Amino acid sequence: MRFLLSLLIVSAVFALKAQNMILPQPKFITVDTTHYVNFGKALFTYNDAATHRLIESLNTNSHGLEVHRFRNSPSSGIRINANLFLHPKYDKKELDYDNYTLDIQAEAIHIYYTNEASAYMAFQSLLQLLKTNAQKDILLPLTHINDYPDFEWRGLHLDCSRHFFSTQEIKRFLNTMAYYKFNKFHWHLTDDQGWRIELKKYPELTSVGAYRDSTKIGHFNEFEKGYEKQRYGGYYTQKQVQEIVAYAAKLHIEVIPEIEMPGHARAALAAFPELGCSQEQLPVASTWGIFNEVFCSKKQSLNFLKDVIEEVAPLFPSNYFHIGGDEAPSIQREHCKHCQKTIKKHHLHNEHEVQGYILKEMNAHLKKHNKTLIGWDEIIESGLPDNCAVMSWRGMQGGKQAAEQKHPVVMSPTTYCYFDYYQSDNPNEPLAIGGYLPLEKVYQFTPIPQDLDTQYHAYILGGQANLWTEYIADFDHLMYMTYPRALALAEKVWNKNAPSYEDFLHKVLFYQLPYLDTQNINYSKAIADANFVLSSDSMGTVAVHVENQNPLLPTITNFRNISTSSKTDFQLHLPEHKVQDTIYLSSFAEGMEDRKKEITLYLSQSTGCKIDSLTPPHPKFNNGGSFTLVNGVYGRRPWNGSDWLGFSGDTITVIFDLLEQRELTQLELSCLKAEGSWIYLPEHISVFGANDKNAFEEVESRAIHKEISEIPLANNYRYIKLVIAPKDKIPQGNEGAGQNPWTFIDEIIITWN
């Protein structure tokens, strides 16, 4: 049984929060939940040619609530009273373009709207207010809403290259998007692992490029697991593409295609190797990551890409055409005579600028189709084409830079918007690419950077979440990774001043998750997970607070090897005669044993040690700050970002204060090796000791060759300083070659006599 359907919601709480039932939150709303109006079995509106298309749209995804058009005929003797009145061209200068007003009165429903999209959004708000009785009558509370979105781009992205989704599955995905007023569907159709759209001129793109002969088993970093030797793939015919685009249009969702260029091209180059720099015949990629194969800058390759645009652009009415532009290595261009000729002919400075040249050619061609080129933020580095748009994924700085150059920007940073990241640190979570993005973190997103001058705010179109599908193989898993995190995004791309997280959580628990249940959507229940919040006020101790985001479900906590009467707060101490001790905890919300979380605490003498100084970790991987290094919990492998501190190319310095001089015996350092994710072991560690913080002396120095390094010590010091040197660059031939690797560190244990 789905857990939320079993909850008893008391009427007093229901009435208290009634204004917050709609998601995203309307700008102005009053709801009287003490008075529901019975509108019978259906809604009736007058037969008006001007609203014919709108009524068809309203009935596309109406959850059983039908709107009927009628015209009374005196000769029939039958008279129907309208109970839904649509008021088009509701146009006042002070109103935003997508403004709507929804009035549910005792006699009828009135929708005032500035365009059909805003009328459709009004209807989605109405659906969220809807209840039915035992006779299936329509019950709606007396309501007045005036509403409009603060951002014009409210999007979700779906990668159909790594894993393929049927047209019916995409329609279901769009239905849920529409219910929460998303209006942009970014359809990722080509990549290294599969070409997914039919081209009449180049049938080899689908006969060859749409299928790979095997697929990586497990995580990219788990090299020993090998491959599933089974042909995998599929593609959309142009007729199916048109079907999806037309269906989305009825939901007032714009579909933006993405055709990757010049990188992520292995599937296309498997069909036409002569279009690449190396011209090497390679298969469609069967593993994940970044590949060196890219489209060449020669005329033959450019003409091919223009031909692709010629066929694809007319299938999509959107003004935007996404060309990718990300993760396109330049190494093969160094030895490509055609690219070297391009550099010389067009006075380019280096191989990297060849990408800028290619994209400017594509930009000019897209303009002939009245399309605006949009690409990932790497296109800034190779020179932005004129009048293009930027989708900022590597943080918000690229988007800020583009906005300051007066380019339209969609914010989609990994920190808040990558829904292929883990959403819980529960060890039972399905395999994901890595990272850590819980619901609350998504809700901290705001599309406009705080340090962006107000004169450039208008260039921020909005925000979008991305669903890359290397580890998402089916529709149920897709929806699990999308919801409820997409609800947080829906709120933040609709409202600059969104409700508090507490209010948001309330409407999710009481209204939105029950709705997802009715739609048989396999959403994540991470919201019911109990969280272990660790702290320490003295060495050798850890305070554990068990909290649960869901106030309706009591938390049950068990200790395997200690006894306690408390259910939520515990103080753990290292026994005096021990150097280390191990304690096992498990916790789950009542009725949710399948979401049980377990944690093993390794108490040591230095657990909770004071850290005087630490090189700042990267903001994306700084969960828990310096305490993460001494909290008694080892980072998990395979990793997710909640357990580790991550550093990007920085030498890491840490200073520990042991409070008094100690006779040291050993130092243990835990690091992560996950080279497929660009995470490398550090090159070297130096250990310094001091009894005066101004007079450190080196006591040990060694290379690091394994994830857990044990370093013997035989000195008396109060202060210990570690200097951890990262690997300089990722080696050639490896994923991310030439880039700065990540260094991830976690538990550091110091012992003494």
* DSSP tag of 90: -
- Counting DSSP H helices and E strands in the chain, the numbers are 17, 36
**Does residue 590 carry a catalytic annotation?**
no
Helix, strand and coil percent figures for the chain, each rounded to 5: 30, 30, 40
User: Are 515 and 64 within 8 A, CB to CB?
Assistant: no
Task: Give the distance from CA 78 to its chain's centroid.
Answer: 54
Reported residue count of the chain is: 753
DSSP, collapsed to helix, strand or coil, labels residue 508 as helix
Query: Pairing mode, if any, of strands 67-70 and 43-46?
Result: parallel
Q: What single string gives the DSSP state of each residue in 545-569? A: EEEES-TTS-EEEEESS---S-SSE
DSSP, collapsed to helix, strand or coil, labels residue 641 as coil
CB neighbour list of residue 565: distance below 8 Å, 6 or more residues apart:
none
CB neighbour list of residue 209: distance below 8 Å, 6 or more residues apart:
194, 195, 267, 268, 270, 271, 284
* DSSP tag of 544: E
User: Are 649 and 740 within 8 A, CB to CB?
Assistant: yes
**Two structure tokens written together for 287:** 């593993």
Q: Given 243, 327, 404, 598, which residue is catalytic?
A: 327
- Taking the CB of residue 559, how many other CB atoms lie within 10 A of it? 16
Q: Which of 37, 47, 247, 53 is nearest to 130 (CA)?
A: 37
C-alpha 524/C-alpha 425 separation (Å) is: 13
C-alpha 497/C-alpha 606 separation (Å) is: 44
Task: Give the distance from CA 63 to its chain's centroid.
Answer: 27
Catalogue the active-site residues.
327
